[in-house]
Amino acid sequence: MTAVVAVVGSANLDVVVSTPRRPAGGETLTGTALLETPGGKGANQAIASAAVGATALIGEVGADSAGRRIREALTAADVDISRMRMGPLPTGRAYITLTPDGENSIVVLPLANGALDSEHVSSALGALNPAVVLTQLEVPMEVVEAVAAWCATVGARFVLNPSPIGPLPDAVLRAADPVIVNQGEAQALLGTDSTDWHDLARRLGGLARSAVVTAGSQGAVVAEADGEATVPGHAVEVVDTTGAGDAFAGTLAAHLAAGASLADAARAANATAAQTVQRARSER
């Protein structure tokens, strides 16, 4: 399969614990349910993208049962894993606390994801030759920088979801087309406490080639050189928000690769994210 979209990113085993509420500092709560399922931003985004078009995941898992389980899930979702390495470190983990309102808190342990290197990624991208490359920040920054450089060299579209948010080299942000963030991530990147997501999108659009700022049920704002567009939200009953942002980013990248405008790609992505939050992880 020739990949139209390559996702460079993490693959984890997600350990999801349902609790009646978030524990306070030093407090112990009794959980109500446990779910272990393949996840990670890279894997989640690749699966969402593959639902639209040909997609490959470039990443690293361990040679363990969790790694095998992730590879099987990706293959079942029609994701090309020919450029996914199995390394000596254990497969990454994400520990997720899920409350009845559908919100979550997550602690990520990178493990094998942290061993992914720029040499392997650049070689894999050269072999796949995708039109769009999507990455996040659950892999080493040198990998993200290599992705941005490869896209600039060959003319591929570089889509960046800088999550979990952290320091970002100016050159990486300038290359993003678009950078996809939520309000909190936009505030962190810009160093502001502004809650005007239209303003946040415009300001980020001035730093990157284009920007998309998401606001859950309120929708999203798209900012490009020739103006901005508001994408309406969807009022739905939220069951679990885990992975909604990944579903948005993966769907958007795939629609861009298929030739959609950024605004239209964001509309499709918002619809997919709204569908995602209405289902429990065990039903997806």
Instruction: State the average pLDDT for the chain.
Output: 93
Is the pLDDT score of 189 beyond 90? yes
246 is catalytic: yes
Helix (H) or strand (E) segment spanning residue 106: strand 104-109
SS3 201: helix
Please write down the HEC assignment for all residues of 26-79: CCCCCCCEEEEEEECHHHHHHHHHHCCCCEEEECEEECCHHHHHHHHHHHHCCE
Answer yes or no: are the C-beta atoms of 222 and 259 closer than 8 Å.
no
Q: So what's the pLDDT on residue 280?
A: 75
State residue 282's pLDDT score: 67
- Separation CA 110–CA 94 (nearest Å): 8
Q: Which residue has the higher pLDDT, 236 or 13?
A: 13
Residue 75, C-beta contacts closer than 8 angstroms, at least 6 positions apart: 81
* Six token digits for residue 205: 């659009």
Question: What are the tens digits of pLDDT across the range 241-284?
Answer: 777 899 999 999 999 999 999 999 999 999 998 888 788 776 77
Q: How confident is the model at residue 2 (pLDDT cuts 50, 70, 90)?
A: low
Q: Average pLDDT, stretch 140-148?
A: 98
* C-alpha–C-alpha distance, residues 191 and 209, integer Å: 19
Percent of the chain at pLDDT > 70 equals 98
Question: Both tokens of residue 15?
Answer: 């350990």
Higher per-residue pLDDT: 267 or 105:
267
**Whether the predicted pLDDT of 153 surpasses 80:** yes
| DSSP 8-class letter at 271 | H
User: Distance between CA atoms of 277 and 238, rounded to whole angstroms?
Assistant: 5
Query: What per-residue confidence (pLDDT) applies to 125?
Result: 98
Does residue 226 surpass a pLDDT of 70?
yes
CA within 13 Å, CB half, 241: 15
According to the model, what pLDDT value does residue 1 have?
Answer: 46
CA-based end-to-end distance of the chain? 25
Mean pLDDT of 225-240: 85
Helix (H) or strand (E) holding 14: strand 12-18
Catalytic-role residue among 80, 177, 240, 246:
246
| pLDDT tens figures, 24-58 | 999 999 999 999 999 999 999 999 999 999 999 99
- Tell me the C-alpha to C-alpha distance, in Å, between residue 69 and each of 38, 136, 188, 273, 282: 7, 22, 35, 24, 15
Q: How far apart are CA 198 and CA 61, in angstroms?
A: 38
For the chain, give every domain's residue range: 5-22+33-283
pLDDT above 90: percentage of residues in the chain: 82
Looking at CATH, the fold of the domain delimited by 5-22+33-283 is given as UDP-N-acetylmuramoyl-L-alanine:D-glutamate ligase (3.40.1190)
What pLDDT sits at residue 236? 79
Split at pLDDT 50, 70, 90, the class of 105 is confident
What is the tens place of the pLDDT at every residue in 158-172? Answer: 999 999 998 899 999
pLDDT digits (tens, 9 = 90+) for 106-131: 898 999 999 999 999 999 999 999 99
Rounded to 5 degrees, what angle do the CA atoms 221, 152, 179 make? 20
pLDDT score at 239: 82
